Structure 1
Amino acid sequence: MTILSCSATKCMYNDHELCSRGDIEITGNGAHRADETSCGSFRERSSGSAMNSTGEHCGCKKINIDCKAQECTYNEHSKCTASAIDVSGCSTEGCNETQCSTFACKC
């Protein structure tokens, strides 16, 4: 599993820059740069919703990452092999842009 730090604080799964989803998918099949990737699991938090209202989930420091960025150095059979990654994302209202800041092209 990979250590994840996520700054996409408008994501409904973000819990103090950790992910409460359990696993994520990084998209960007033809990516050659970090800004061509994104967190495919991102879901914008609605203003009235309470995250983790059931109390069953907590932010996870280590997470399974399915990676579709085939040109990334850390992609091995669609799994992320990096020891740690950063998913960056804006924290302003209405913003849903994310990227894997750790992406490194093997091309």
Structure 2
Amino acid sequence: MSGKLSCNAEKCVNNINGLCSANNIHITGDESHSSRETGCETFSPKGLVNAMSNFTNMNLVGQFKQLFSADSIEMSPEIKCEAENCIYNVNELCTASNVQVYGPDARTTRETECETFKEH
């Protein structure tokens, strides 16, 4: 994916000011027919233990670039997608130019969804 990923799952350890700091994202929902049937498997609740265990998946280059860019979104993670019925899923990779993960009150993966999902 060469697009941008924004996220409103504020309780996720990867969420930094509405942007996803993960380098690799995993969207689930292989039989999905709507965004509500998808989920962000990369979601992990905020906390020191989860921050340490997710350190190897941090998009450090994107975060550094973002510090110096107020006008654009610089974090562009790779998004693995299992949503077979989504038009943006090409060989299990997301090809959407912009992706929005939803889950403002999410505490688990099941409470998140990919709002960009669009059925074939």
Identify whether the pair has TM-score above 0.5, normalized to the shorter chain.
Answer: yes
Report what 2:71 is aligned to: none
Report what 1:39 is aligned to: 40
SS state of the match for residue 35, structure 1? helix
Report what 2:76 is aligned to: 62
Amino acid at match of 1:63: P
Q: Give me the identity figure in percent.
A: 36
Report what 2:91 is aligned to: 77
Amino acid at match of 2:19: L
Amino acid at match of 1:65: I
Structure 2 residue 83 is the aligned partner of structure 1 residue 87: no
Contact between 2:4 and 2:97, CA under 8 Å: does it hold in 1?
yes
CA distance in 2, matches of 1:19, 1:86: 10
| TM-score normalized by the length of structure 2 | 0.74
CA distance in 2, matches of 1:81, 1:64: 10
Contact between 2:3 and 2:99, CA under 8 Å: does it hold in 1?
yes
5+ residue gaps, structure 1, are none
Identify the structure with the greater helix proportion: 2
CA distance in 2, matches of 1:103, 1:86: 9
Structure 2 residue 29 is the aligned partner of structure 1 residue 28: yes
Contact between 2:88 and 2:118, CA under 8 Å: does it hold in 1?
yes
CA distance in 2, matches of 1:83, 1:98: 20
CA deviations 1:3-36 (Å, max 9, x no partner) are 1010001001111111112110100000001000
Structure 1 segments, 4+ long, off by >2 Å, are 49-54, 56-61
SS state of the match for residue 102, structure 2? strand
Q: 1:78 Cα shift?
A: 0.2
